[in-house]
């Protein structure tokens, strides 16, 4: 990252750091809301439709074409192709003024059920992201979502190959494909670099740095990629590789305490200023819970030049065990007295 300012495109664009400006943020956030409003008006208000539909369709198609052009990591681009096509096919091919408005549905009850479902899951999922997948919650572009990073002690990653599944560890797949081991590992490191570009990534790595003094000797992997090799699917939903799946992996992999440490975080709930994280030792279960402020993560650079962002520990296994020991000692002293 330090060499960013030395590249040709960085000099041409006068890039000094990786942080969205106010104009870019406005275009991405408020612009997305504008497109959604335009499409809603096109489907609800007939007089608006003739003027709005061509503009809304063009913006939406360009939006998805832009996403496709960036070749983003771990993104099913067929999703964007489908939505670009569906925008033209549905909103332009079957416009509201031709009898395809919401109130033209033949069944009132069907209309109520469809509208209620479209409202229920996004609302519940944003207030309680732990209860609903981020897909029906419509949080794909919400800024943060449930995610994780896995940190393996030297040699411990190979134990994952004991787990019943259809594929080996991805780093091993790269080696089998012809990569030299060090370049296979560098390729995997590019994925966690991508994770740090999201605000939750900076929080995840801050917790890792505070939890593991031997972090430099460990192999750190992106949770989504580990999930891919284990179950063949992830779609970006961290709930698919939470403490329950880690416990299932542990039953076959049999990690020793400290060999696999996972930092997992939940989406930011509506109205909350923090994200709730867990530190999970595969052999011991959850060993720490805490929070970090989203504003602290957003304000920091991906490579954490100022060190880990502030976090607040709300529970830890070590503190719980210490409290149990103190209670037992107090009980023993009371019994002797």
CA distances from 296 to 40, 140, 144 (A): 35, 21, 13
Number of H-type helices and E-type strands within the chain: 12, 6
Among 308, 161, 301, 148, smallest CA distance to 222 is for: 148
325-335 burial string, b = 16+ CB within 10 Å, else e? eeeeeeeeeee
Q: What is the DSSP string of 208-270?
A: HHHH-TTGGGSEEEEHHHHHHHHHS--TT-GGGGSHHHHHHHHHHH-PPTTTEEEEEEPPPPT
Mean pLDDT of 21-28: 64
**Model confidence at 116: pLDDT above 50:** yes
pTM here is 0.75
Nearest to 202 by CA among 296, 271, 134: 296
Please, which residues have CB within 8 angstroms of residue 241's CB and are 6 or more apart in sequence?
A: 148, 223, 224, 226, 227, 230, 234, 264
The confidence score (pLDDT) of residue 324 equals 45
Query: At 92, phi and psi to the nearest 5?
Result: -95, -40
Out of 3-17, 43-57, 323-337, the most confident range is 43-57
Report whether 67 contacts 76 (CB < 8 A). no
Enumerate residues 6+ apart whose C-beta is below 8 A from 197: 18, 302
Question: Would you say the C-alpha torsion 134, 140, 142, 143 has a positive or negative sign?
Answer: positive
Residue 16's pLDDT is 54
| Residues 183, 185, 189: CA angle, nearest 5 degrees | 115
What pLDDT, on the 0 to 100 scale, is given for residue 122?
86
Least confident of 14-18, 19-23, 102-106, 268-272: 14-18
What letter does residue 287 receive in the DSSP assignment?
E
Q: In what order do the strands lie in the sheet with 260-265?
A: 219-222, 147-152, 260-265, 274-281, 285-293, 311-316
Sign of CA dihedral 261, 217, 170, 191: positive
**Residue-averaged pLDDT of the chain:** 82
Q: Is 99 a residue whose pLDDT tops 70?
A: yes
pLDDT above 90 as % of the chain: 44
- Compute how many other C-beta atoms are within 10 angstroms of the C-beta atom of residue 247: 12
Using the predicted structure, report yes or no on whether residue 240 has a pLDDT greater than 80: yes
């Amino acid at each position: 990252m330090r060499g960013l300012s030395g590249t040709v495109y960085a000099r041409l664009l006068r890039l000094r750091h990786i942080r969205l400006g106010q104009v870019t943020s406005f275009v991405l956030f408020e612009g997305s809301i504008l497109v959604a409003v335009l499409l809603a008006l096109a489907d609800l208000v007939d007089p608006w439709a003739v003027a709005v539909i061509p503009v809304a369709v063009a913006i939406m198609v360009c939006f998805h074409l832009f996403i496709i052009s960036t070749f983003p990591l771990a993104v099913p681009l067929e999703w964007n192709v489908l939505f670009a096509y569906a925008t033209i096919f549905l909103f332009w091919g079957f416009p509201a003024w031709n009898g395809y408005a919401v109130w033209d549905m033949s069944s009132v009850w069907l209309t109520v059920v469809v509208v209620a479902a479209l409202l229920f899951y996004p609302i519940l999922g944003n207030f309680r992201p732990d209860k609903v997948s981020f897909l029906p919650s419509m949080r794909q572009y919400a800024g943060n979502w449930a995610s994780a990073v896995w940190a393996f002690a030297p040699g411990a990653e190979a134990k994952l190959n004991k787990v019943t599944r259809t594929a080996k560890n991805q780093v091993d797949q790269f080696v089998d494909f012809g990569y030299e081991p060090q370049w296979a590992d560098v390729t995997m490191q590019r994925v966690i670099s991508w994770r740090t570009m999201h605000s939750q990534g900076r929080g995840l790595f801050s917790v890792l740095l505070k939890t593991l003094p031997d972090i430099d000797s460990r192999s750190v992997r992106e949770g989504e990629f580990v999930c891919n090799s284990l179950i063949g699917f992830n779609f970006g939903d961290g709930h698919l590789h939470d403490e329950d799946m880690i416990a299932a992996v542990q039953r076959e992999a049999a990690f020793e305490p400290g060999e696999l440490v996972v930092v997992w975080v939940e989406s930011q709930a509506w109205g909350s200023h923090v994200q709730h994280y867990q530190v999970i030792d595969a052999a011991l279960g959850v060993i720490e819970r805490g929070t970090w402020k989203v504003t602290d993560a957003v304000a920091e650079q991906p490579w954490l030049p100022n060190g880990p962002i502030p976090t607040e520990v709300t529970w830890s296994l070590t503190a719980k065990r210490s409290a149990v020991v103190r209670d037992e000692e107090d009980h023993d002293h009371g019994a002797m007295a």
